[in-house]
């Protein structure tokens, strides 16, 4: 459960706020409005690591590998051919809609 404390109490009891933040984030309010959150270094590091995530190149390579495994040796159609077919289908649908 998150603990909420006033800015004045947080300033006066900062050591206690630090101890509490090691257990769970502490919300500091000023004028009844949440202003900041004090959290442990461990929690901060986890947030930063999640935000950084994986490099997009690594994610792309993992996606390619997943597709190769799913194809099980089969070849993908040529992208240009897929686009051409899609355009033909779209054109046919548009012509049918106009008739």
Count CB atoms within 10 A of the CB of residue 37: 13
Asked if 40 and 61 sit in the same domain, the reply is no
Asked if 61 and 33 sit in the same domain, the reply is no
Is the confidence at residue 50, as pLDDT, over 80? no
| CATH code of residue 31 | 3.40.1620.10
Asked if 39 and 73 sit in the same domain, the reply is no
> How many domains does the chain divide into?
2
Per-residue pLDDT reduced to its tens digit, 13-31: 999 999 999 999 999 999 9
pTM: 0.51
Under 8 Å CB-to-CB from 79, ≥6 apart: which residues?
none
Asked if 72 and 94 sit in the same domain, the reply is yes
Per-residue pLDDT reduced to its tens digit, 30-46: 999 999 999 999 999 98
Asked if 61 and 42 sit in the same domain, the reply is no
Higher pLDDT, 51 or 16: 16
The angle formed by the CA atoms of residues 38, 39 and 45, to the nearest 5 degrees, is 135
- Token pair of 51 as six digits: 């935000």
26-30 and 33-38 strand pairing: antiparallel
Q: Which range of residues forms the domain containing residue 40?
A: 3-46
Asked if 17 and 35 sit in the same domain, the reply is yes
């Amino acid at each position: 459960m998150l603990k909420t404390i006033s800015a004045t109490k947080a300033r006066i009891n900062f050591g206690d706020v630090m101890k509490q933040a090691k257990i769970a984030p502490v919300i500091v309010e000023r004028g009844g409005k949440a202003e900041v959150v004090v959290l442990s270094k461990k929690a901060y590091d986890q947030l930063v690591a999640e935000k950084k995530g994986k490099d997009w190149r690594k994610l792309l390579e993992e996606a390619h590998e997943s597709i190769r495994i799913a194809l099980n040796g089969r070849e993908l159609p040529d992208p240009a051919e897929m686009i051409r077919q899609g355009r033909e289908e779209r054109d046919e649908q548009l012509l049918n809609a106009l008739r």
